[in-house]
Structure 1
Amino acid sequence: MSSNEITTIKNSTLAGLTNLAYLVIIGNRISTIEDNAFNGLSKLEKIYMNFNEITTIKTHTFTGLTNLRELNVYFNSITTIEDHAFRGLKKIRKMDLNNNKISTIEDNVFSDLTNLNELNLENNRISSIKNITISGLTNLRSLKVHDNPFHCDCELIGLVDFLKSGRVPVYVPPRCFTPDNLKGASLLSLSAANLTCSDMTTIETTTDETNSSPLKEGSFLVIVYVSLCLLVKAMINF
Structure 2
Amino acid sequence: MPSSAAGGSPARSGISNAPEADFYTVFARTAPGAGARGVTAFLVPADRPGLTGTAVDMLSPHPIGTLTFDAVPVTADDVLGEPNSGFRVAMTTLNLFRPSVGAFAVGMAQAALDTTVEHTSRRDAFGGKLKDLQTVAHQVAEMAVRTEAARLMVYAAATAHDEGAPDVPKRAAMAKLLATETAQYVVDAAVQLHGARALRRGHLLEHLYREVRAPRIYEGASEVQRGIIAKELYG
> What's the TM-score once normalised by structure 1's chain length?
0.23
Q: RCO higher in 1 or 2 (8 Å CA, sep ≥ 6)?
A: 2
**Structure label with greater radius of gyration:** 1
Tell me which protein shows more helix as a share of its residues: 2
> What's the TM-score once normalised by structure 2's chain length?
0.24
